[in-house]
């Protein structure tokens, strides 16, 4: 099995290929979530983190989705998405290393093809009046709940909560990844180009934290391990809202990693 450090080395290679690919094709992106936190606090990976998150404006995201299918980022890298694989129940684009394989114990159904991966999140516009948008947010929350039980509702697991998840999955089957499709469509209600405030789908329901076009049009190139990658101009506001005093290390019992087995296959 690959260690956290070995997984990080593979992730860093994917990031470098992705960065160069974006430069070649004039695509905008910024580091996000814990990856952005690691860039600021550790000048690289959070030591116990085996995950990489990246934001892309929706126009660039869709362009990248088409380009990377026609012209892969590298010989050993491929992308996957709910639109490409009926067993992949995530809305994000994942870039994965075909030389590796992973097994995610917490998933009801394993994707057909998946190795060590980087997640790419689409950034969409935010409506000006949150109260008037309550129906869209309600529908989004409803479909995200259905997606969650589809992902994690394993029949074999014990407990009332798990039984309810599996029952909900049985009542609302995710045929053709319909939950992911609806989430994706609802997220695009407000066009990126015509709304200055932008968010990724995971933050849409509360959107206390938002980015702007300037974050992607004029990002900051910052150190990350031995390379440099782009981060948003408003990184301090984003990290403060998401993590509070983000420069202080969390207690050891709160240092979570993504629980999956990973190994080389070739």
Residue 29 falls within a domain, yes or no?
yes
Q: Residues 82-109: pLDDT tens digits? A: 999 999 999 999 999 999 999 988 887 8
Q: What whole-number distance in Å separates Cα of residue 10 and Cα of residue 99?
A: 10
Beta bridge partner(s), residue 252: none
Q: Region 13-40: what's the mean pLDDT?
A: 97
Average pLDDT, the chain: 90
Q: Region 1-24: what's the mean pLDDT?
A: 96
Q: Region 129-158: what's the mean pLDDT?
A: 81
Q: How confident is the model at residue 132 (pLDDT cuts 50, 70, 90)?
A: confident
Q: How confident is the model at residue 119 (pLDDT cuts 50, 70, 90)?
A: very high
Residue 6: its pLDDT value, please?
A: 95
Q: Region 178-199: what's the mean pLDDT?
A: 92
Residue 203: its pLDDT value, please?
A: 65
Domain count, the chain: 1
Residue 170: its pLDDT value, please?
A: 74
Q: What whole-number distance in Å separates Cα of residue 148 and Cα of residue 168?
A: 10
Residue 68 falls within a domain, yes or no?
yes
Q: How confident is the model at residue 72 (pLDDT cuts 50, 70, 90)?
A: very high
Q: How confident is the model at residue 127 (pLDDT cuts 50, 70, 90)?
A: confident
What percentage of the chain carries pLDDT values higher than 90?
65
Q: For residues 139 and 208, which has the higher predicted lDDT (pLDDT)?
A: 139
| 3-state DSSP of the chain | CCCHHHHHHHHHHHHHHHHHHHHHHCCCCEECHHHHHHHHHCCCCCCCCCCCEEEEEHHHHHHHHHHHHHCCCECCEEEECCCCCCCCCCCCEEEEECCEEEEECCCCCCCCCCCCEEEEEEEEECCCCCHHHHHHHHHHHHHHHHHHHHHHCCCCCCCHHHHHHHHHHHHCCCHHHHHHHHHHHHHCCCCHHHCCEEEEHHHCCCCCCCEEHHHHHCCEEEEECCEEEEECCCHHHHHHHHHCCCCCCCCHHHCCCCCEEEEECC
Residue 59: its pLDDT value, please?
A: 97
Residue 230 falls within a domain, yes or no?
yes
Q: Region 230-236: what's the mean pLDDT?
A: 96
Q: Residues 186-196: pLDDT tens digits? A: 999 999 999 99
Q: What whole-number distance in Å separates Cα of residue 232 and Cα of residue 226?
A: 19
Q: How confident is the model at residue 209 (pLDDT cuts 50, 70, 90)?
A: confident
Q: Which of 222, 223, 197 is CA-nearest to residue 211?
A: 197
Q: Could you tell me if 32 and 51 are in contact, meaning their C-beta atoms sit under 8 angstroms apart? A: no
Structural domain boundaries, residue 83? 4-124+193-264
Residue 138 falls within a domain, yes or no?
no
Q: Region 44-64: what's the mean pLDDT?
A: 96
Q: Region 206-220: what's the mean pLDDT?
A: 86
Residue 103 falls within a domain, yes or no?
yes
Does pLDDT of 121 surpass 60?
A: yes
Does pLDDT of 206 surpass 60?
A: no
Q: Region 218-236: what's the mean pLDDT?
A: 97
Residue 160: its pLDDT value, please?
A: 76
CATH number, domain at 241?
3.30.460
Residue 99 falls within a domain, yes or no?
yes
Q: Region 47-76: what's the mean pLDDT?
A: 96
Residue 251 falls within a domain, yes or no?
yes
């Amino acid at each position: 099995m690959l260690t956290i450090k070995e997984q990080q080395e593979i992730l860093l290679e994917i990031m470098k290929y992705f960065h160069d690919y974006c430069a070649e094709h004039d695509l905008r992106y910024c580091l996000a979530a814990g990856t952005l936190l690691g860039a600021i606090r550790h000048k690289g990976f959070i030591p116990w983190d085996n995950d990489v998150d990246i934001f892309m404006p929706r126009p660039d995201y869709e362009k990248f989705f088409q380009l990377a299918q026609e012209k892969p980022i590298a010989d050993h890298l491929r992308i996957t998405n709910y639109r490409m694989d009926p067993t992949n129940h995530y809305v994000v684009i994942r870039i994965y290393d075909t030389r590796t394989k992973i097994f995610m114990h917490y998933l009801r159904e394993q994707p057909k093809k998946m190795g060590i991966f980087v997640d790419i999140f689409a950034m969409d516009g935010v409506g000006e009046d949150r109260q008037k948008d309550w129906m869209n947010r309600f529908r989004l929350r409803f479909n995200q709940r259905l997606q969650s039980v589809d992902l994690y509702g394993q029949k074999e697991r014990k407990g009332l909560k798990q039984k309810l998840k599996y029952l909900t999955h049985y009542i609302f089957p995710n045929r053709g990844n319909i939950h992911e499709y609806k989430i994706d469509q609802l997220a695009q209600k407000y066009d990126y180009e015509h709304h200055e405030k932008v968010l990724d789908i995971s933050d849409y329901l509360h959107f206390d934290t938002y980015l702007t076009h300037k974050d992607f049009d004029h990002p900051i190139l910052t150190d990350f391990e031995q390379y440099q990658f782009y981060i948003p101009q408003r990184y301090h506001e984003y990290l403060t809202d998401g993590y509070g005093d983000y420069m202080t290390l969390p207690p050891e019992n709160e240092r979570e990693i993504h629980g999956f087995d990973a190994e080389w296959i070739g």
